[in-house]
Amino acid sequence: MPDFSIVIPCYRDEAPLARLLGQLRRLPHQPREIIIVDAADSRHCAQLCEQSAATRLTGEPCRGRQLGIGAAKAQGDVLWFLHADAQLSADPLAAMAAAIQRGAVGGYFRFRFAEPRAWPASILEPAIALRCHIGIPYGDQGIFMRRAVYHQAGGHAPWPLFEEAPLVQAARRLGRFAALAEPIFVDSRRWQRDGWWRRSLNNRLLALRFMSGAAPQDLAARYHSKNDS
């Protein structure tokens, strides 16, 4: 089992972060370290980190920069990047270790919506799997990577959105980037609030604009205005 460093950006996400840290503590295999990069300088976040023996760093509210700060401090053989609202499968470290031992430079987990689910989830999940195969898996799918490969690939772009895109593209040029069968569960509350099809369409339009050359900073402002409460 390689040593894992887990990097989690946080910005006013203390409630889901507490759930995630609890799940991490209960895993059958434990990481070398958990690094939280707090962009709100929150006392509650600091307390959660202390209770979970996690390292807390601070940074500006830009997910790409937060991830880069955490990765720069990480010491594990493999870096695993998680969103604060992720929900985990039974033994994700073993699944990643097996992929690395089979020669993968990194990879990502299968996208699954967490409960409560609705019928569109069963259509969107295979569509997302196809998009990841021909395009880019996003950060909510628990991207992991050998630490040396991460730095060789240039790390996360210092962007607030689509920060993983150039990293994954570069990593794929360096070796096999594995699509794991094991799921990671993504909070469905925003899809339920905004409408499953409406939110998915908005996300695809943003991705198309990004691929057409739009600035990630401009897209992030549009993303939050349309998708966040």
Query: Cα(163)–Cα(216) distance, rounded to whole angstroms?
Result: 8
Average of per-residue pLDDT across 218-227: 75
pLDDT confidence band for 227 (50 / 70 / 90): low
pLDDT in tens, 18-54: 999 999 999 999 999 999 999 999 999 999 999 999 9
User: What strands lie across the sheet with 4-10, from one edge to the other?
Assistant: 55-58, 33-38, 4-10, 78-81, 144-146, 106-113, 177-186
User: What region does 21 belong to: left with phi over 0, alpha with psi -120 to 50, or beta?
Assistant: alpha
What's the pLDDT at 229? 42
Q: Which amino acid is at 74?
A: A
Q: Tell whether omega for the bond before 116 is within 30 degrees of 0, i.e. cis.
A: yes
Distance CA 84, CA 40 (A): 13
Q: Within its chain, how far is the Cα of 147 from the centroid?
A: 16
**Residue 59 Cα distances to 4, 38, 74, 221, angstroms:** 22, 6, 15, 19
Residue 222's pLDDT is: 77
Phi, psi values for residue 100, rounded to 5°:
-65, -40
Structure tokens at 128: 């997302």
Question: What digits encode the pLDDT tens for the residues 116-168?
Answer: 899 999 999 999 999 999 999 999 999 999 999 999 999 999 999 999 999 99
pLDDT digits (tens, 9 = 90+) for 59-83: 999 999 999 999 999 999 999 999 9
Helices in the chain by DSSP H: which ranges?
14-25, 43-51, 63-73, 92-101, 121-134, 147-152, 165-174, 189-194, 196-211, 216-227
Question: Do 72 and 144 form a contact (C-beta atoms < 8 A)?
Answer: no
**162 Cβ contact list (under 8 Å, min separation 6):** 207, 210, 216, 219
Q: 226 pLDDT band (50/70/90 cuts)?
A: low
Find where tokens 């040593």 sit. Answer: 3
Confidence at residue 43, expressed as pLDDT on a 0 to 100 scale: 96
Task: Give 55's pLDDT tier (boundaries 50, 70, 90).
Answer: very high
Q: Using pLDDT thresholds of 50, 70 and 90, give the confidence band for residue 216.
A: very high
Report the distance separating Cα 183 and Cα 168, nearest Å: 19
Rounded Cα gap, residues 30 and 174, in angstroms = 28
Give the per-residue pLDDT at 221: 83
Split at pLDDT 50, 70, 90, the class of 225 is: low
- Of the candidates 141, 181, 184, 133, the one whose C-alpha atom is nearest the C-alpha of residue 164 is 141
